[in-house]
Amino acid sequence: MASTTVNFNVPDSLRCITKSSPWTVPFAAGGISGVAAALVGQPFDTIKVRMQTGFKFAGAHPAGAFDCLRMTMKHEGPNALFKGLGPQLGSQFLATALLFGIQDKFLSCFSGLTGGSRNDLNLISSAGFCAGGVLAVITCPMELIKVGIQSAADIPVTRVRPSAAAVAAKPSSLELAVAVVRKVRAEHGLRGLYTGVGLTSLRCAVGNAAFFSTFELCSRLDKSQNPGVKRSHSKCALFGAIAGTSYWLGCYPIDLLKSQIQNKVVQDAETLKLSKASAQPMPWNVVAR
């Protein structure tokens, strides 16, 4: 068994549930960890997307990340930092819940095909690369909706039988998500929700290859320096943080392009109509498809 495999201690009261499928506990644990990561990281993600997509406050671009945070708080309040949380929760729950199981299946497959060990760092990295690429099919539509909500200055929201109070109130995240889906579908059909799926797949593949290989290297280094000592939870968290940093260092330029392309679909309908009718499509459109 590979050293990157996560072992879960299951209470006796839950063993009857987990006997039916070896995926049950990893799926649940991965999903919960993905939700926790989304809740903690959403404010940072909102600032990231706004910086990537050229968001303006009262016609002015923020000077940097801290300025974007300050202007968001000033103009929209702290709740704006959690815009797009719903799609992000769904995306992270599914992606993280499935990621480790799919990576383990790819690792077993590669090990069988090559005759190599499951502890081979190249195989671990390759399995992470493939697992991340596959999961983009699930996460791409939800990420497009999230980006659209986070970078939207004004999305038309249609309310059914709105009351006077509802008209005065700001649209909820659910209303914004529905409005983004309707806007994209009206221009491009359901296929439009998969705009940028190629870049999303590449980002997840490169990022997860870096994540799994970095976590494995940290684990091996710790094992060599502390042989026979059980790894503490704090060390696992530290290694996860280091691996997560390597994820974004490896794929951030790809994520930048992805966010800009997906934002353009939501925000720039007129430009998209022209590029769709043109015999020479825009360069970003070629990359996205």
Q: How confident is the model at residue 21 (pLDDT cuts 50, 70, 90)?
A: low
Kindly report the average pLDDT of the chain as a whole number.
80
pLDDT higher than threshold 60 for residue 85: yes
Report pTM: 0.77
| Distance from C-alpha of 217 to C-alpha of 174, rounded to nearest angstrom | 41
Q: How confident is the model at residue 97 (pLDDT cuts 50, 70, 90)?
A: confident
Q: What is the pLDDT of residue 100?
A: 84
- Residue (of 258, 246, 251) closest to 205 by Cα position: 251
pLDDT higher than threshold 90 for residue 70: yes
Bridge partners of residue 60, in order along the sequence: 57
Over range 101-115, report the average pLDDT. 90
CB-neighbour burial class of residue 236 (10 A; exposed 0-12, middle 13-18, buried 19+)? middle
Q: What is the pLDDT of residue 283?
A: 43
pLDDT higher than threshold 80 for residue 227: yes
DSSP assignment string, 163-186: -HHHHHSPPPHHHHHHHHHHHHHH
| Distance from C-alpha of 279 to C-alpha of 162, rounded to nearest angstrom | 43
If phi > 0 it is left, if psi is from -120 to 50 it is alpha, else beta; for residue 164 that is alpha
- pLDDT tens, position by position, 244-269: 999 999 999 999 999 999 988 887 54
Q: What is the pLDDT of residue 279?
A: 34
Over range 92-110, report the average pLDDT. 88
Top-confidence residue, 159 or 247: 247
Rounded percentage of the chain residues whose pLDDT exceeds 70: 77
Question: Are the beta carbons of 148 and 175 closer than 8 angstroms?
Answer: no
Q: How confident is the model at residue 72 (pLDDT cuts 50, 70, 90)?
A: very high
Q: What is the pLDDT of residue 268?
A: 59
pLDDT higher than threshold 90 for residue 125: yes
- pLDDT tens, position by position, 134-155: 988 888 999 999 998 888 655 5
pLDDT higher than threshold 70 for residue 119: yes
- Residue (of 174, 176, 117, 169) closest to 148 by Cα position: 176
Rounded percentage of the chain residues whose pLDDT exceeds 90: 40
Q: What is the pLDDT of residue 155?
A: 52
User: Among the listed ranges 13-22, 33-42, 84-93, 130-139, which one has the minimum average pLDDT value?
Assistant: 13-22
Top-confidence residue, 127 or 155: 127
> Which residues contact residue 55 at a Cβ distance below 8 angstroms, ignoring those fewer than 6 apart?
49, 61, 62, 68, 151, 153
pLDDT higher than threshold 70 for residue 12: no
Q: What is the pLDDT of residue 164?
A: 47
